[in-house]
């Protein structure tokens, strides 16, 4: 539009860049997690990869991981089926969370020590257009409708002493218990 001033063009270009940056990051992670079979972060679609080691500065597929946190998760396609998130009883002295977001970084699902406590939990995540039959055992707040059919789930679990082999084994066991 020739009626726009150079400063208005610059302003709109900045808005477009920041508006689209999240989607580009989401699709980059989707590609790494679901298509790059030789990459260490590969897990396939609709699968959680239980990570039992701390990330270093060498990992480049996600932004700034915390050096005292185990991260796991995956990319999920909810077009044809729902997914179930199960968590075991977690220790009271440990931060943990499971969160789900769509490609616009709209987080619609939060469970964990700061949100729902440490007792065993189960949730059914369904896509926005899903019309299937609910499996038995799920009711009310255990049924979560996603904001998109493509979602990323991230698990975070605090490591209390990264230098302790015993602590890393305990933390790894806890991460593997969240499915």
Q: pLDDT per position in the chain (179 positions), as tens?
A: 889 999 999 998 888 887 777 777 777 777 777 777 887 777 788 888 888 888 776 666 666 567 788 988 889 999 989 999 999 999 999 999 999 998 888 899 999 999 999 999 999 999 999 988 888 999 899 999 999 999 999 899 999 988 899 999 999 999 999 99
pLDDT for the residue 28: 77
pTM of the entire structure? 0.81
d(CA 143, CA 134): 9
d(CA 44, CA 35): 7
**64: alpha, beta or left? (left if phi > 0; alpha if psi -120 to 50):** left
């Amino acid at each position: 539009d020739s009626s726009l001033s150079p400063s208005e063009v610059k302003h709109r270009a900045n808005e477009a860049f920041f508006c689209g940056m999240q989607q580009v990051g989401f699709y980059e992670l989707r590609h790494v997690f679901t298509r790059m079979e030789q990459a260490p972060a590969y897990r396939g679609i609709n699968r959680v990869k239980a990570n039992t080691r701390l990330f270093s500065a060498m990992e480049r597929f996600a932004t700034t991981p915390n050096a005292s946190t185990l991260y796991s998760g995956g990319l999920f396609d909810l077009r044809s089926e729902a997914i179930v998130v199960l968590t075991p009883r977690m220790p009271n002295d440990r931060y943990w969370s499971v969160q789900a977001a769509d490609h616009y970084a709209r987080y619609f699902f939060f469970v964990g020590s700061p949100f729902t406590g440490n007792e065993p939990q189960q949730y059914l995540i369904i896509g926005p257009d899903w019309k299937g039959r609910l499996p038995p055992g799920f009711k009310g707040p255990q049924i979560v409708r996603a904001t998109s059919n493509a979602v990323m789930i991230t698990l975070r679990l605090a490591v209390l002493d990264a230098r302790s082999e015993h602590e890393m084994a305990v933390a790894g066991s806890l991460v593997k218990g969240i499915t």
